[in-house]
Amino acid sequence: MTHPPNRSPGYRSTILRAPSRPAVALKADPDAIELTSPVFGHGEVGALDADLTRQHEGEPIGERIIVTGRVLDSSGRPIRNTLVEVWQANAAGRYAHAGDRHPAPPDPNFTGAGRCLTDHEGRYRFVTIKPGAYPWRNHPNAWRPAHIHFSVFGTAFTQRLVTQMYFPGDPLFPFDPIMQSVPDAAARERLVSAFDLDVTEPEWALGYRFDVVLGRTPMED
């Protein structure tokens, strides 16, 4: 099983929010509107939207990184012109969000939100700052491993995916109930980006590769 069960009591917020009844399987219906998805125009996303280090007057503090990869369908075909949105904490582990109370410094030069459209090969690319780990109140001494949130559309509303990208070798993985909610170890690995020297730019930024593979659309079954 790839996806985590919504009821995952180790992640406490699921206890009152996970549906208690199984989802109703919709019988094959070629007219179901969920088999289609919004189409995004190139004019809707600015060139700088994918560079999270250039959205303010100054440069954000932290380790500059490049995060790139492809959005693919389950057969490995690229998904073109699809919207990829990312958001994250700053280098100190603090979000530019009024609700974040972690006593780590905010960075006036870092909002931590970006978007881009995939190219003809399904490729996206962001320049950003490596996010910090941050504490949360799920259980005593709970810390989220450093991560970048991803939102991806695909070609059918049924493929819509929100996920999180982690960094290789993070010692917090075994203690994180959100990552560990994915039952299969091989599936968890697919949430971890790979350091890539070919993506790394000399004297400028480390590179990480992260591919996103969306589920089948029902009509492919």
Q: Is 144 known to be catalytic?
A: yes
DSSP 8-state code for residue 55: S
Residues 145, 140: Cα–Cα separation, whole Å: 15
Q: Does 128 bind another protein (CB under 8 A)?
A: no
Tokens of 28: 């094959």
The CA-atom distances, in angstroms, between 194 and each of 18, 63, 188, 189, 205 are 31, 16, 13, 10, 15
DSSP track, 135-193: EESSSTTEEEPPEEEEEE--SSGGG-EEEEEE-TT-TTGGG-HHHHTS--HHHHHTTB-
At its nearest, how many Å lie between another protein and the CB of residue 58? 18
* 20-28, 54-62, 122-130, 198-206 -> range binding another protein (CB under 8 A): 20-28
Q: Is 11 considered catalytic here?
A: no
| Minimum distance, C-beta of residue 92 to another protein, in the bound complex (Å) | 14
- Near another protein in 49-88, by CB under 8 A: 74, 76, 83, 85-87
The single residue listed with the structure tokens 């949130």 is 149
Which 162-201 residues touch another protein, going by CB under 8 A? 162-164, 178-179, 181-182, 187-188, 190-191
- What number of CA atoms fall less than 13 Å from residue 17's CA on the CB side? 8
Q: How far is the CB of 97 from another protein (least distance, A)?
A: 4
State yes or no: is 134 an active-site residue. yes
- Residue closer to another protein (CB basis): 115 or 130: 115
Which residues share a beta bridge with 135? 143
3-state SS assignment for residue 121: coil
CB 201, min distance to another protein, A = 25
Subset of 84-113 contacting another protein (CB under 8 A): 85-87, 89, 95-100, 111-113
Out of 134, 166, 188, 208, pick the active-site residue: 134
Instruction: State the catalytic residues.
Output: 95, 134, 144, 147, 149
